[in-house]
Amino acid sequence: MRRKKTKISRDKTINRRYLFFGDLQVPFQSDAALKSLKKLTRTFKFDEILCVGDELDFNTISRHSEGKPEAFLQTLDKDRELCRNLLFDLGTTIVSRSNHTDRLYKALVKIPGLLNLPELQYAKFMGFDELGIHYAKEPYRVYGTDFIMAHGDEGVISRLPGQTAINLAKRWGHSAIIGHVHRLGFTCHSEAFRGRLERLVTAQALETLTSDPPLFLGNSL
């Protein structure tokens, strides 16, 4: 008598696969890094692909370009479309707010009458709904894990790799994964009472994916 084959399926509520990346800072992205990242997304099936922010640089409206020729470059629409295409190609599902993309709001503050226009709200400006992307305005709790994803500018920046992330993790009481600092780092923190472990949090800071040679091409969880 032939045995009936039993199909074993992965319980996605327990064993979900996540890929984190960030700091593309289009138009200063690293094409070599993106090529590797795209290959990674095609090779492995991720349940969520999350961007920790700074996907678009907004360099032409940055305070650093004020009074300089860069401020007069008419490249923002081109940069936006490139960024949208890259996020779509990577299969991005979640994007975190970040300091570089906050530049749009900071530019509008100088013209208050435009602040409430729906089409100039960042998520609408980028067309995230059309791309199936959720825009996380606050630190984002990653489903099924103890991790919180945020950009990383929510706390004091440390020169020590991973220190900025672990400080946020200790503040939030959850493990953290961030970008922003442009330094790859991984660390953990534990607390005990009378020899008994009470709390353990880990923290990961991602490397930038700009045109400078990246040390890290993403992180899976």
Other beta carbons less than 10 A from residue 102's beta carbon: 16
Residue 129 half-sphere exposure, CB side, CA atoms within 13 Å? 6
What's the pLDDT band for 212 if we cut at 50, 70, 90?
Answer: low
Percent of the chain whose pLDDT exceeds 90: 83
Q: How far apart are CA 24 and CA 96, in angstroms?
A: 13
Q: Is 27 a residue whose pLDDT tops 70?
A: yes
Q: Is 13 a residue whose pLDDT tops 70?
A: no
Residue 5: predicted pLDDT? 56
Per residue in 84-130, pLDDT tens? 999 999 999 999 999 999 999 999 999 999 999 999 999 999 999 99
Per residue in 135-150, pLDDT tens? 999 999 999 999 999 9
Q: Which CATH class for the 18-213 domain?
A: alpha beta
Nearest CA-CA partner of 51 in 5, 86, 6, 1 = 86
Residue 15: predicted pLDDT? 81
pTM of the model: 0.87
Residue 94: predicted pLDDT? 98
Domain boundaries, the chain: 18-213
Mean pLDDT value of segment 20-33:
96
